[in-house]
Amino acid sequence: MNRFNFRLLMLGLLCMLLMLGCKSSTLVQSDTADKSNPQLKNVQDSAEILRKIIAASGMDDISHVLQIRFTFNVHHGENKLSRQWTWRPREDKVTLTHPGPTGESISLSFIRSEVLANPDAPTNVRMADRWFINDSFWLMMPLHLSWQDTAKLGIQDHGMTALPIGEGQAHHVTVTFPKSDIGGGGYTPGDVYDLYLDDQYLIKQWAFRKAGKQTPNLVNTFDAYAKIGEMHIAMNHENPNGFKLWFSDVTVVTDNK
């Protein structure tokens, strides 16, 4: 190898080393920037809080669930209602049975994805879908949280605060839903839930604030937890103002996998 070729070889090796050094420096700087980014940290913290709430409920994986049946009951003053539901998640099929105006039993079945995709769906079917979201939200709120894009949910962790009903403290987390359907708000655009969690991240109480208003529309307990299938479900909800909501005839059918 002549002296000229040797110099070219050494120059090439030097350039390669400089390029590798620049790449390594860039990676280190990028990693440091990510760790110091408070917005990224908040998103990661929020995702971790939601993961714990969902996992505590046993609703982090319902792929093995074939059918969920439950009856939703509410007594509040003179208002009383009862709705029976059968939901087959794999088929996205929902069946509602409830008393009609004259006491007769009315049944209605629909595929949720078809209703949501059809703006001209019958009014009674669209109303039934809204009822299903409301009633199943009470039964399985953590599951509904698992369907949301974490980055689009507003999450605030207040640490330990006083319970709104009775004595004692709990881990207080505020969840704010997106303000539009486009953002994932669905039937609850901008609604806010103040969740009060026990040390296992199960909901003890919540305060519901419709569309983000400051004063809660409803504050109530989550009581009488029962393990049904793999799910931990609060069967009773009430408050000192006479509100009482409870579930009966809850069954979960799985494929036993």
Q: Does one domain contain both 43 and 32?
A: no
Strands 65-76 and 243-254: antiparallel
Mean pLDDT within 53-76: 95
Examine the domain organization and report whether 185 and 141 are in the same domain. Answer: yes
Q: What is the pLDDT of residues 196-224, one digit of tens each?
A: 999 999 999 999 999 999 999 999 999 99
Q: What is the pLDDT of residues 88-117, one digit of tens each?
A: 999 999 999 998 888 889 999 999 999 999
Residue 69's closest CA among 32, 49, 95, 39?
A: 95
130 in the same domain as 22 = no
Nearest of 161, 180, 158, 181 to residue 170 by alpha carbon: 161
Same domain, 53 and 23: no
Q: Which is nearest to 52 in space by CA: 138, 140, 141, 142?
A: 142
**What angle in degrees, to the nearest 10, is found between the helix axes of 3-36 and 38-57?**
60
Cα 146 to Cα 54: distance, rounded to the nearest angstrom: 7
Instruction: Report the number of distinct structural domains present in the chain.
Output: 2
Is the confidence at residue 17, as pLDDT, over 50? no
Count of other CB atoms within 10 angstroms of residue 121: 15
Check pLDDT > 70 for residue 4.
Answer: no
DSSP per position, 218-242: EEEE-EEEEEETTEEEEEEEE-TTS
Shared domain check, 70 and 24? no
Q: What CATH number is associated with residue 231?
A: 2.50.20
Structural domain boundaries, residue 110? 39-254
